[in-house]
Amino acid sequence: MSQAFVDLAPLVPAGTRTVIVHGVAAGTRQRLAGLLPEATVLDLADLADLAGTSGPAGTEPVRGAGPMANAGLAAGAGPVVGADLAVMEVASHVGQARIAAELLEMAYHLREGAVLLVVTARRLGSARQLNTLEDMFGAAEVAQRSGSAVVLRAVRGPEVRATADATSAAPTIEAVLLGHDLRFTTGAGLFSKNRIDDGTRLLIEALPVDHDWRDVLDLGCGYGPIGIAVSSRWPQVRVAMADIDPLAVSAARNNAELNHLSERCQAHLSDGTSALVDRRFDAVVSHLPTHVRKSTLARLIDESANVLRPGGELITVTASAVDLRDRIASTFGTVEVLAESQAGTTPPYRVVHAVKTEQPSR
Ligand SMILES: C[S@@+](CC[C@H](N)C(=O)[O-])C[C@H]1O[C@@H](n2cnc3c(N)ncnc32)[C@H](O)[C@@H]1O
């Protein structure tokens, strides 16, 4: 998200000594440092070790909202950090439950009277974020609209209310995939956190049985169902799982361990294949994200082609309404349908398959 036009100067309270940031771009961080040269700037992710298991006095305890959200207060204690200001930028790839969990976690580190600023892209819509802030803090406002961004503002009162979104528990999933009993722990805001998604299952069941894959990439792995199913079914395969979401990567890593596969199935924090450009794969398997820009989807397809060996295969699933066949064919030359959901499944999914020729067409 480009926040080139956000002017933080009028929004930063005088006398700010401690700031917590979360998901902010390097430019925003630099502007904050320029505005508050004396202040200590802490990253929310680095505060996760200050773990308690409950929210501020008088609020619901934080349950099952992912590892980071457990950095709340012990009941009755003061804020963990007691910061004067928090600044969060909402990433486009995370869901509302996750955003709510992160807002709650930020709130726990703020002193009473502290200001929370949420910078969000206009195109993502700010109404839900505003509602969540109002639910948590009692009041919130649009403090700035500028260029492509909206800045929301709330002040931490004596109480912070944990919304249902933020505390929705994520159970452990047990599933039989490719004939193997597998277990997955998930987390708030992760894709299909309560059950293996139908599209994901359709892809897994459509995977060719006969192949000589050595290296497989699960692109956009979430908590890891595809990569982990491949790894358990074909022990000779080395699986890399990649996701842009740190919580997904952490869950995928935990799940590889939980299923005793961590030696041959590893998770990487990666925007597309950026962390894996030096690796080559025989197959890229992916339940592609569809709540992203078209250009991002196109990039993920092109990057898949780039990391495949000649003869390597791309196998992806998307909701049938998101038809990527032309886009995949424009990169790979051809594309075929491997599987489609049975009639009546909502939403219906389509699994497609493409092979990288010696000379990719792009
Ligand atoms: C539809 S979900 C699939 C998750 C998992 N593979 C499953 O089947 O349950 C898409 C995943 O892609 C990830 N994602 C979105 N944009 C990405 C990007 N630019 N690079 C890598 N992963 C991305 C999301 O965080 C999400 O976990």
Q: Which residue has the CA at smallest separation from atom 3 of ligand 1?
A: 287
Residue 70 pLDDT greater than 60, yes or no: no
Residue 237 has pLDDT above 90, yes or no: yes
Whether 93 and 147 share a structural domain = yes
Indicate if 104 and 162 belong to the same structural domain: yes
pLDDT > 60? residue 139: yes
* Confidence (pLDDT) at 17: 94
Distance from the alpha carbon of residue 243 to the mean position of ligand 1, in angstroms: 6
User: Which of 94, 244, 295 has most ligand 1 atoms within 8 Å of its beta carbon, as the pocket-test mutant?
Assistant: 244
Residue 150's pLDDT band, with cuts at 50, 70 and 90, is very high
Domain membership of residue 47 (yes or no) is: yes
Q: Are residues 274 and 151 in the same domain?
A: no
Residues with CB under 6 A from ligand 1: 93, 191-192, 197, 200, 220-222, 225-226, 242-245, 248, 270-272, 287, 289, 292, 296
16 and 122 together in one domain: yes
Please write down the long-range contacts of 52-60, taking CB distance under 8 Å and 24 or more positions apart: 52/77, 52/80, 55/104, 55/108, 55/160, 55/162, 56/107, 56/108, 56/159, 56/160, 58/158, 58/159, 59/159, 59/160, 59/161, 59/162, 60/161, 60/162, 60/167
Q: Does residue 66 register a pLDDT over 50? A: no
Query: 145 - beta bridge partners?
Result: 150
Structure token pair of residue 320: 């049938």
Is the residue at 141 inside a domain?
yes
| Cα 25 to averaged position of ligand 1 atoms, centre (Å) | 20
- Please identify, by atom number, the ligand 1 atom nearest to the C-alpha of residue 221: 6
Q: What number is the average pLDDT over the span 208-234? A: 97
Statement to judge: residues 236 and 191 lie in one domain: yes
DSSP letter assigned to residue 122: G
Q: What is the number of the ligand 1 atom nearest to the C-alpha of 299?
A: 19
What are the Cα distances from residue 2, in Å, to 9, 120, 205? 17, 10, 39
Q: Which segment of 93-102, 117-126, 141-150 scores lowest on mean pLDDT?
A: 93-102
How many secondary structure helices (H) and strands (E) does the chain include? Answer: 9, 15
Instruction: Please tell me the distance from the alpha carbon of residue 37 to that of residue 44, in angstroms, as a whole number.
Output: 19
Name the residue at shortest CA distance from atom 5 of ligand 1: 222
**Cβ of 47: how many Cβ atoms within 10 Å?**
20
Based on the fold, state whether residues 145 and 177 are members of the same structural domain.
no
The domain total for the chain is 2
**Token pair in block for residue 314:** 């791309």
Query: How far is the C-alpha of 108 from the C-alpha of 156, rounded, in Å?
Result: 9
Mean pLDDT of 138-146: 92
Taking the centre of ligand 1 as the mean of its atom positions, its distance from the CA of residue 133, in whole angstroms, is 26
Residues 22 and 163 in one domain: yes
Top mutation candidate among 287, 306, 318 for ligand 1, by most atoms within 8 Å of CB: 287
- The reply to whether 13 falls in a domain is yes
**pLDDT of 161:** 79
Last residue of a domain, one of 140, 167, 194: 167
**Same domain assignment for residues 272 and 189:** yes
The angle at the Cα of 63, spanning 58 to 83, to the nearest 5 degrees, equals: 60
**Ligand 1 centroid to residue 77 C-alpha, Å:** 37
Q: Is pLDDT of 361 > 90?
A: no
Q: Is residue 29's pLDDT more than 50? A: yes
pLDDT of residue 50: 43
- 249 Cα–ligand 1 center, Å: 10
For position 170, what pLDDT does the model report? 62
* Same domain membership, residue 211 and residue 72: no
The mean per-residue pLDDT over the stretch 26-52 comes to 78
Count of Cβ atoms closer than 10 Å to residue 312 Cβ? 23
Which domain, by its residues, includes 43? 9-167
pLDDT digits (tens, 9 = 90+) for 280-291: 999 999 999 987
Nearest-CA residue for ligand 1 atom 12 is: 220
Between 299 and 127, whose confidence is greater?
299
Q: Which of 9-18, 42-51, 297-306 has the highest mean pLDDT?
A: 297-306
Residue 189 has pLDDT above 50, yes or no: yes
Q: Is residue 157 part of a domain?
A: yes
Question: What average pLDDT is seen over the chain?
Answer: 84
Q: How far is the CA of 289 from the centre of ligand 1 (A)?
A: 5
Same domain for 203 and 90? no
Provide the pLDDT for residue 10.
93
* Å from CA of 224 to ligand 1 middle: 10
Provide the pLDDT for residue 166: 62
- Hey, whose CA ends up nearest to atom 25 of ligand 1? 245
pLDDT for 358: 67
pLDDT tens track for 317-355 = 999 999 999 999 999 999 999 999 988 888 899 999 999
pLDDT at 171: 67
CATH code of residue 280: 3.40.50.150
Q: Which of 105, 139, 167 is the last residue of a domain?
A: 167
- Among 129, 146, 167, identify where a domain stops: 167
* Within-domain flag for 362: no
In a domain, 4, yes or no: no
